[in-house]
Amino acid sequence: MFLSTLAKTAQGTENIWELSLNVLITGIVVVFAVLLLLILLIKLYSTIVYKAQNRAPKAPKGGNDGNVAQAAVIQNNGAMAVAQPQGLTDELVAVITAAAVACMGNSNIRVTGIRKRTTRSEWSDAALRENVQPFRMGDWK
Amino acid sequence: MSILQGFLDSIVYLFNTSGLATLTWQNYVMVGVACVLLFLAIKKQYEPLLLLPIAFGMLIVNLFPGIMGAPSTEMIPLTEYLASHPDVTEATIGYPITTLEGIQYVNYPHNGGLFYYLYQGVKLGIYPPLIFLGIGAMTDFGPLISNPKSFILGAAAQVGIFITFIGAIGLNALFPGMFTPEQAGAIGIIGGADGPTAIYVATKLAPELLGPIAVAAYSYMALVPIIQPPIMKALTTKKERSVVMEVTRPVSKLEKILFPIIVTIVIALILPDAAPLVGMLMLGNLFKESGVVDRIFKTAQNELMNIVTIFLGVTVGATATGQNFLKPQTLGIIALGLLAFCMGTACGVLFGKIMYVVTGGKVNPLIGSAGVSAVPMAARVANKVGQQENPANFLLMHAMGPNVAGVIGSAVAAGVLLSILG
């Protein structure tokens, strides 16, 4: 409604410079207004989703598909507790954190989760190794 | 002797209908331009996915203009038609018959050229939204959702579009009647650095300038690594370029699913003219993020995207015939397109500087340059320029926020132009 009124105003204008300024001002104002509105909406729903998802921390299900290992850092009255599943030692967490700090050059980071990237079984891994072995760069030298 | 005469007649006929006899010097110049673009696409790899089909479309249409020919109807006198088709009677002729001044004519149809039919997808505004579908399926909006302030930089970079619009109107003061307001709007959108959006707006506002606008848009997008860095360095200090930004928060799957739905609702409600572009972009992204339509998602980002890219490229290139392209207007479009890119980059960086000040030095102004779309090239350039000051500084993911915001921003700007000028 707002834009169509502006459009009619602009198209009815005989002075081309008036039309140009209409387009300039309308364009900049509308683009910023729409994108600012999107910022507000994204912040709003992100907050709602974050709160909804963190209201009641779910207990890890028994299966957890065997491939995902998580070390969740939970803040509780200022004290930090680290829940570690099998195979993820304190030393491993420390090494991964140190690597992340070194890579990013920023010591003010916190590792909240560690996830294994592969979803392949050992058999798939073996098959993949078998297939890509002839193409290793080292073999070409 | 009659065989020899028949042979000579055939040779003369072939020569008269060949390009050697029918083409003008403008066509030959455009063949040269097409060959240069093919060189840039193949050898220099400047946006080859689009520049190559565009250049080839340009090449073929200037050698055989009939490939873009519209369907036509030839009126043949009925008696003449029946004489040349002895097995046909007036009752079984199968074509409409028109009577003019007492003479009956058969309306004999001639089909259009191949590219004419493929071009309907451009003319009717079908291909650009389909390209956006594929782009949406390939885009991760996570960096934007985790840092929504990036939208401001995506909006700032669109200011170049409107400044260029004024510039195009201003050229009329020097060269009266050079560009109409609609043409100025179509030229300004080059500053959005978004090929499909530029084509979409050009087909709606100034279809006669589609060829030069598309070529300028894609050429400048390919030249982003050359155009942007000097502007970025000129507008920032070494200290600003060295800012290391904080790691963005992880984004949940639910947030990513909600994003395309909310953006579509907002944009379609406020700016219906932008709905085809933004809607398809968000649909493609929803295919990706929902995780429940894997087959469609893969088709949208691969097969469909590739097929539409071929059709779009060759047919847009085919609009650049010598007669259409070799005009003073084209020089104006090329100059204004460069101005649009530079202004968009400058405005993005300047708003980045404002955010640098407002946030107490937490935002690297270089990421503002990525607001001009050109995904992901502009984000890579921001990352590269940042690493020239500090090799351990990784700005890529931070720049991807304004970069994808720029895609939405340029579609919104297109919607505004179409609303006012369309």
What gap in Å lies between CA B226 and CA B412, rounded to an integer?
27
Looking at the domain assignment, is residue A60 inside a domain? no
Q: What is the pLDDT of residue A84?
A: 53
Q: B100 and B229 in one domain?
A: no
Tell me the C-alpha to C-alpha distance, in Å, between residue B173 and each of A17, B179, B186. 11, 10, 19
* pLDDT < 50 regions, chain A: 1-4, 6-7, 10-13, 62-83, 134-141
Q: Does pTM surpass 0.90?
A: no
Burial class (CB in 10 A: 0-12, 13-18, 19+), B157: buried
Q: B287 and B244 in one domain?
A: yes
Range B5-19 average pLDDT: 87
Nearest Cα neighbor of B415 from B263, B235, B229 is B263
Q: What is the pLDDT of residue A75?
A: 39
Q: A48 and A6 in one domain?
A: yes
Amino acid occupying residue B313: G
Q: What is the pLDDT of residue A33?
A: 94
What gap in Å lies between CA B115 and CA B118, rounded to an integer?
5
Domain boundary among B85, B110, B135: B110
B253: closest chain A residue by CA: A49
Task: Please indicate whether, in this complex, the C-beta atoms of A3 and B420 are within 8 angstroms of each other.
Answer: yes
What gap in Å lies between CA B133 and CA B329, rounded to an integer?
32
The dihedral over CA atoms of A60, A64, A67, A72, expressed in degrees to the nearest 10, equals -10
Tell me the C-alpha to C-alpha distance, in Å, between residue A96 and each of B60, B247, B249, B298. 57, 16, 18, 34
Q: B312 and B240 in one domain?
A: yes
Domain boundary among A33, A54, A75: A54
Does residue B278 have a pLDDT over 80? yes
Q: For the beta carbon of residue B244, count every other beta carbon within 10 angstroms.
A: 17
Helices and strands of chain A, counted as H and E runs? 5, 2
Q: How far apart are the first and last CA of chain B?
A: 65
Least confident segment among B14-18, B80-84, B143-147, B349-353 = B14-18
Range B361-388 average pLDDT: 91
Residues 6+ apart with CB under 8 A from A10: A19, A22, A23, A26, B420, B421
**CB of B169 within 8 Å of any CB in chain A?**
yes
Cβ(B389)–Cβ(B137) below 8 Å: no
Amino acid occupying residue B3: I
Domain count, chain B: 3
Both tokens of B186, joined, read 């179509």
Phi and psi torsions of A94, nearest 5°: -65, -40
Q: B92 and B137 in one domain?
A: no
Q: What is the pLDDT of residue B323?
A: 87
Structural domain range at position B83 = 72-110
- Overall residue count recorded for chain B in this entry: 422
Q: What is the DSSP letter of B365?
A: G
Q: B386 and B324 in one domain?
A: yes
Burial class (CB in 10 A: 0-12, 13-18, 19+), A102: exposed
Amino acid occupying residue A102: A
Q: What is the DSSP letter of B91?
A: T
Q: For the beta carbon of residue B66, count every other beta carbon within 10 angstroms.
A: 13
A-chain CB neighbours of B282 within 8 Å are none
Residue B74, strand partner residues: B108
Per-residue pLDDT of B31-87, as tens digits, reads 999 999 999 999 988 878 888 999 999 999 999 999 999 999 999 999 999 998 888
What gap in Å lies between CA B371 and CA B359, rounded to an integer?
18
Amino acid occupying residue B68: M
The phi-psi region of residue A88 (left if phi > 0; otherwise alpha if psi is between -120 and 50; otherwise beta) is: beta
What gap in Å lies between CA B57 and CA B114, rounded to an integer?
11
Q: Measured between CB atoms, which of B154, B254, B267 is closest to A49?
A: B254
What gap in Å lies between CA B30 and CA B33, rounded to an integer?
5
Domain count, chain A: 2
Task: Please indicate whether, in this complex, the C-beta atoms of B181 and A20 are within 8 angstroms of each other.
Answer: yes
Q: B123 and B104 in one domain?
A: no
Per-residue pLDDT of B151-184, as tens digits, reads 999 999 999 999 999 999 988 878 888 899 999 9
Looking at the domain assignment, is residue A138 inside a domain? no
Q: Measured between CB atoms, which of A27, A36, A109 is closest to B417?
A: A27
Q: What is the pLDDT of residue B280?
A: 95
- % chain B with pLDDT above 70: 100
Interface of A with B in 9-48 (CB under 8 A): 10-11, 16-17, 19-24, 26-28, 30-32, 34-39, 41-43, 45-46
Structural domain range at position A99 = 67-116
Q: Which residue has the higher pLDDT, B90 or A121?
A: B90
Q: B399 and B336 in one domain?
A: yes
Amino acid occupying residue B28: Y
Looking at the domain assignment, is residue A121 inside a domain? no
Range B233-258 average pLDDT: 92
Per-residue pLDDT of B295-351, as tens digits, reads 999 999 999 999 999 999 999 899 989 988 898 889 999 999 999 999 999 999 999
Residue B104, strand partner residues: B99
What is the edge-to-edge ordering of all strands in the sheet holding B97-100?
B72-77, B103-110, B97-100
Q: B263 and B206 in one domain?
A: yes
Q: Measured between CB atoms, which of B151, B254, B416 is closest to A26?
A: B416
Residues 6+ apart with CB under 8 A from B208: B324
Cβ(B257)–Cβ(B286) below 8 Å: yes
ipTM for this prediction = 0.83
Cβ(B299)–Cβ(B133) below 8 Å: no
- % chain B with pLDDT above 90: 71
C-alpha of B232 from chain center: 25
Q: What is the pLDDT of residue B399?
A: 93
What gap in Å lies between CA A124 and CA B118, rounded to an integer?
45
The phi-psi region of residue A86 (left if phi > 0; otherwise alpha if psi is between -120 and 50; otherwise beta) is: beta
Task: Please indicate whether, in this complex, the C-beta atoms of A38 and B266 are within 8 angstroms of each other.
Answer: yes
Q: A6 and A50 in one domain?
A: yes
Q: What is the pLDDT of residue A82?
A: 47
Q: For the beta carbon of residue B69, count every other beta carbon within 10 angstroms.
A: 16
